[in-house]
A and B are shown apart, each in its own frame.
Chain A
Amino acid sequence: MINFGFIVQSVPALIKAIPVTLLMAFAAAAAGWLLGLGIALIRKNKVPVISQICAVFVSFMRGVPMIILLYISYYALPVVVYNYGMSIGREIDLNAIPAVLYAVLALMLDQAAYSSEIFRSALSAVDEGQMEACYSVGMTKSQALIRIVLPQAMAIAVPNLSGLFLGLVKGTSLAYYVGVYEITATANLLAMPALNFIEAYVMTTIIYEIISFIFNKLFRGCENRLKRFRAGASAA
């Protein structure tokens, strides 16, 4: 039987967990995508050495399961940080670093790798002639990128970024395993005493669906704004 009393009781606690999930997603996306754009530009321009390092980074990040990345960040990184602290003669209090920070770090690196490929293909999709036209009127490369090429690349990238972001929101649920009380972890915690798992997971599903729906709409609106210049374009 479905325990409706449990559902009513636990809704407030679950809603309180939503900001934790969203905050992780926003932080990871903001930092990760910026890094991803940087990687894409470096690789597109074939900057020697750094470009190769970036390629290895992207390949590595795409090959490692998210949960392993979280464990590395949560279990291995603190040891490194602690040892580094000791080597410069300072004892770092690892308990002062909240778990959510490790989770965001892992998610951010993952986002950087995946978004860099999205940005790279979007940059390649902008016609070479746009860059040449910029040069022909005397612009510098950075002027051309900022004013002409990136705005067009963004319009191409947004649909894919939207998918990446929704994946990220769901991916934050893995932070449960390193002790971050976001939506999934909270649901589990509430369900455990009386084994109300069905109810808890149904509610969790509904919350994730609503979040996805809202962000899907937001990204769609953003996409339409960015590709305004293609309005009225002929089928060709």
Chain B
Amino acid sequence: MANIVELKNIHKSFGENHILKGVDMNIKKGEVVVILGPSGSGKTTLLRTINFLDSADEGSVTIHDFTVDCKKHTKSQVIELRRKTAMVFQNYNLFQNKTILENVMEGLVTVKKYKKSDAEKVSREILGKVGLAERCDFYPSQLSGGQQQRAGIARALILDPDVILFDEPTSALDPELVGEVLNTIKAVAQTGITMIVVTHEIAFAREVASRVVFMEGGVVVEEGIPEEILVNPKEPRTQQFLKRITNPNASDEPG
């Protein structure tokens, strides 16, 4: 099957700081790719270069046969590429001045030029699916973090993108709210939509991922099916990371 997302030789620096050092990635339709790695490894930056929220310095991004060169691109190319993607943010980033329903409708109405009544109908349906049917007319500031994030997922889903990018979707949540959001993401994964998820939730990765990618220092260190990477990692750096994350009290440096 053809790749739906192709990243070629992605390089990105912020000033002196070389964050991404040549990342290649090919993702097939329907794959759920979970990116793991210590903080500062460039996983969030990689995600943001896919929809050009951060524009990579070198390389190219291809989504559904549409390629954009990171070095040389026009505004309209970037917009077209973005319209093939959707993103779920760590801090939800719901439109604060819009109700939950309007948040979900926004992309349909402004970008996809739906009629308002049609947009409202499908938006209410999808909000029902993420369990927010009763919260349609609330503003984001009136909802819990978990509810806001589920609305964020609905806002991404409704656009029917080729790929949804999840940027640490549960990292800003109170611990007791993580479960409801992960369950929603799991349900989305089962619909067969292509997803790239940056997360620290190992258990979630094991359960949902069709492929796990481990990044460190701006490169992909190791990738494979979750059973391989999470249970029997070959690379020492992956082993260390998993040890640290599953047993936070263990220190890898002696003394």
Contacts and interface: CB of A to CB of B under 8 A. Distances in A.
A and B from one complex: yes
Interface of A: 127, 129-130, 132-140, 143, 147-148, 151-152, 155, 228-234
B107 A229 contact: no
Contacts of A155: 97
A229 B111 contact: no
Interface of B: 51-53, 79, 82-83, 85-87, 89, 91, 93-98, 106-107, 110-111, 139-142, 155-156, 159, 165
A20 B248 CA distance: 72
Nearest to B141: A233
A139 B103 CA distance: 13
A129 B89 contact: yes
Contact of B79 (A130, A132, A133, A138): A138
A137 B85 CA distance: 8
Contacts, number: 84
B93 A140 contact: no
B97 A132 contact: no
A149 B130 CA distance: 27
B139 A147 contact: no
14 contacts: A132-B93, A136-B53, A136-B82, A138-B83, A139-B107, A139-B111, A143-B111, A147-B110, A148-B106, A228-B139, A230-B139, A232-B142, A233-B141, A234-B141
A133 B102 CA distance: 14
Given A137-B107, A139-B111, A232-B142, A148 B83 contact: no
A93 to B, nearest CB: 49
A interface secondary structure, majority? helix
B110 A136 contact: no
A134 to B, nearest CB: 8
Nearest to B90: A129
A152 B97 contact: yes
A233 B139 CA distance: 9
Contact of A133 (B83, B85, B94): B94
Nearest to A146: B110
Contacts of B111: 137-139, 143
Given A138-B79, A229-B141, A151 B87 contact: no
A91 B52 CA distance: 57
B72 to A, nearest CB: 20
Given A135-B52, A137-B106, 5 more contacts: A135-B51, A136-B53, A138-B111, A147-B110, A229-B97
B95 A132 contact: no
B93 A138 contact: no
A10 B23 CA distance: 81
B53 A132 contact: yes
A188 B34 CA distance: 77
